[in-house]
A and B are shown apart, each in its own frame.
Chain A
């Protein structure tokens, strides 16, 4: 009893119109999907860099907070091995062995891109003080921990093979002039004056308990022993470039860490 009319399919015209609509709609969706995917990829890279930098800032803050632990005043006997206490919150170079200090700005470390914290990082298990070094070398911030050896220059000890390990990649604080110019174009003011941005900015105890001020300021006790606060600025870039615009994507993280242990 089949009704012939009921068995009729789509006409060619109907099929073509239907297919055209479907193509237009799915084409639009695909285009949107493509854009989203590119964006997602770039954002993931930015987020990855961001997360890495955040964890690093958190760790740096913790190390700097604990800098100078335990102070020498915790020990009665002057013959206590110097490996047990922190002689200074921040080791310096050059001249650390001789205990002659340097002026912030003139030191190799602590400097804009290099800091060695002297502290007992693992105070529950090890009784020895360690040197924790953060150093920026061509786009990668390295971190290294080595047990303190009295009489040895901290910068030399941390420069031994296998000590420093990559910690944060794609750090552009001191990138090449071309990269800085390109970034400054996309993010105006990211690099003031087009100059590299220091990772570490040091604030020292002012004379006569007058608070803290920039270590490089006039009349400031500008030695590593006196560093009280460390401002941290990390500028990291995503691994690749933005696939849509071709620009470098970068983020800036700021942190402030305060040494709580008293002056040595």
Chain B
């Protein structure tokens, strides 16, 4: 022992300086590390708050993208050649087993909400919670996001998917009709035109729940749900209930001629009819829509003062053509009335010149095309088709000739004339000045399906009248070109200017 120690030279014992240095360094490092950790804690605290906010805005971006792309007018409308049946026609609800997704994967990422087996591809387990069945049991269609930022250097919103589904009582967890039954098979509708706008069950009249049948101006409610997951773990699942806002037009007759004095000259043609039965005539079908609204009058008038417009109309119908005006009221034995010419009450947004003028302005603001001055069918948009009804306002007289069919909502603020095989599927609203004239010179076999209204809202000088003025409705010559009531086309013509958000909520996401 002593011997071993003796071998050490004094020089070797100088290592104690190193030990002291190491000890001091250790203490300094410990202090430094503590400071670094303190800063790191602060950073992660700030990070959590940031993630939560980022995720919320990302999910909102998803909701808004879907809400925008649900509009037929959107340049990125969800229905295109690849997915023609992504969204139903205006006024039609998605079937309750249908589900639609817009996917927004990051580069190189897979987003598969219907793959419930994988927790890394953002499965949609919320669907089962809302609809009582796994999303794999539903019929789904998908599209991808069009966020323009994704193609550039700036990353787009980091939401993962947006789901569009028909809203039901069970999915919203709301007992709309207060019957304690949370129905999951009936789409909900919303009637913005009602005195107290509210959701209602979309059971058609006569299907067992007449008290809550959707009104003619009710539109289906969609549920839009967006999931956002941002790198680092911020997650948000947000949900809108949305419904289409439309012009809320509804018609009490196939041909409405409200006003102070109607000059009527009915067609002599044996092919011309005015028919108040929903879906009568030979209209092109609106996909997913069955015309099942109650029968309306063939011709509706409003009596003002001493003038009896019913007599005016009947006086203009040849005795052997009285049976060409069929419609409400329906007799007890199911027989339709003929001639069906009645006093009617118009929609509460279409009763006075001021209201009609306001309606025309609203339509004009949301029109696909506004033609200033007189127009013919050559001025109509070429994209207009049976699958793409449009909103057109002609600020002047309109005449169509030859072989032409228009689709959608046509507003004419002057006189209207047609000849040949011409017709319109949708709504024709002729609201002119002086004596608004509708002049038909038949010869063809086309039809006006939907509803038509001719009224005078201004005097000859263009001043708004206090009450609807006189109008003239004349059909000459032979041919068809009759007017047939069609609730499907009335709805389809009113392409929504926007989808209105009815409610919003945040949901817990479980992957």
Per-residue contact bits, chain A 106-127, to B (CB 8 Å; 1 contact, 0 not)? 0000000000000010011001
Q: Which of A58-66, A146-154, A202-210 contacts B (4 or more CB under 8 A)?
A: A58-66
User: Which residues on the B side are within 8 Å of A8 (C-beta)?
Assistant: 10
User: Which residues on the A side are within 8 Å of B175 (C-beta)?
Assistant: 75, 80, 84, 127
Which of A74, A76, A84, A123 is B507 in contact with, Cβ under 8 Å? Answer: A123
Given contacts A2-B2, A76-B200, A123-B507, contact A70 B174 (CB under 8 A): yes
**A100 at interface (Cβ–Cβ under 8 A)?**
no
**B355 at interface (Cβ–Cβ under 8 A)?**
no
User: Which residues on the B side are within 8 Å of A6 (C-beta)?
Assistant: 6, 8-10
**A195 at interface (Cβ–Cβ under 8 A)?**
no
CA distance A8 to B501 in the complex (A): 93
A residues 167-191 touching B (CB-CB < 8 Å): none
Report whether B173 and A40 are in contact in the complex, using a CB–CB cutoff of 8 Å.
Answer: no
**A98 at interface (Cβ–Cβ under 8 A)?**
no
Report whether B178 and A80 are in contact in the complex, using a CB–CB cutoff of 8 Å.
Answer: yes
Given contacts A76-B198, A124-B129, A127-B175, contact A2 B506 (CB under 8 A): no
Given contacts A7-B6, A54-B45, contact A74 B24 (CB under 8 A): no
Report whether B176 and A32 are in contact in the complex, using a CB–CB cutoff of 8 Å.
Answer: no
Report whether A73 and B27 are in contact in the complex, using a CB–CB cutoff of 8 Å.
Answer: no
Nearest B residue to A33, CB-CB: B31
Which of B27, B31, B200, B505 is A69 in contact with, Cβ under 8 Å? Answer: B505
CA distance A72 to B198 in the complex (A): 8
CA distance A2 to B3 in the complex (A): 7
The distance from the CB of B18 to the nearest CB of chain A, in whole angstroms, is 13
Q: Which of A42-50, A135-143, A155-163, A225-233 contacts B (4 or more CB under 8 A)?
A: A42-50
User: Which residues on the A side are within 8 Å of B201 (C-beta)?
Assistant: 76
Classify chain B: how many residues form its interface, as a range: 35 or more
The distance from the CB of B238 to the nearest CB of chain A, in whole angstroms, is 9
Q: How many A-B residue pairs have CB under 8 A?
A: 117
CA distance A40 to B31 in the complex (A): 10
Report whether A58 and B52 are in contact in the complex, using a CB–CB cutoff of 8 Å.
Answer: yes
Given contacts A58-B52, A74-B199, A76-B212, contact A43 B501 (CB under 8 A): no
Number of A residues, CB within 8 Å of B = 47
Which of B24, B49, B197 is A54 in contact with, Cβ under 8 Å? Answer: B49
Q: Which of B33-41, B418-426, B436-444 contacts A (4 or more CB under 8 A)?
A: B33-41
**B42 at interface (Cβ–Cβ under 8 A)?**
yes
**A25 at interface (Cβ–Cβ under 8 A)?**
yes
Per-residue contact bits, chain B 328-365, to A (CB 8 Å; 1 contact, 0 not)? 00000000000000000000000000000000000000
**A71 at interface (Cβ–Cβ under 8 A)?**
yes
CA distance A71 to B243 in the complex (A): 14
Per-residue contact bits, chain B 193-210, to A (CB 8 Å; 1 contact, 0 not)? 000111111000000000
Report whether B504 and A74 are in contact in the complex, using a CB–CB cutoff of 8 Å.
Answer: no
Per-residue contact bits, chain A 24-37, to B (CB 8 Å; 1 contact, 0 not)? 01100100110010
Per-residue contact bits, chain B 290-306, to A (CB 8 Å; 1 contact, 0 not)? 00000000000000000
User: Which residues on the B side are within 8 Å of A81 (C-beta)?
Assistant: 178
Per-residue contact bits, chain A 78-103, to B (CB 8 Å; 1 contact, 0 not)? 11110010000000000000000000
**B503 at interface (Cβ–Cβ under 8 A)?**
yes
**B139 at interface (Cβ–Cβ under 8 A)?**
no
**B378 at interface (Cβ–Cβ under 8 A)?**
no
**A260 at interface (Cβ–Cβ under 8 A)?**
yes
Report whether A75 and B176 are in contact in the complex, using a CB–CB cutoff of 8 Å.
Answer: yes
Nearest A residue to B46, CB-CB: A54
**B20 at interface (Cβ–Cβ under 8 A)?**
yes
Q: Can you report 9 residue pairs joining A to B where beta carbons are below 8 Å apart?
A: A29-B24, A47-B38, A50-B45, A74-B172, A74-B198, A74-B241, A75-B176, A75-B199, A262-B500
**Shortest 9 CB-CB contacts between residues of A and residues of B:** A260-B504, A77-B178, A2-B6, A80-B178, A36-B31, A69-B505, A76-B200, A74-B174, A54-B49
- Apart from A6-B9, A7-B6, A65-B56: 11 A-B pairs, beta carbons within 8 A: A40-B38, A44-B38, A54-B48, A57-B49, A65-B506, A71-B503, A73-B197, A74-B241, A76-B177, A78-B196, A127-B174
Residues of B within 8 A of A (CB): 2-3, 6, 8-10, 20, 24, 27-28, 31, 34-35, 38, 41-42, 45, 48-49, 52, 56, 129, 172-178, 190, 196-201, 212, 241, 500-508
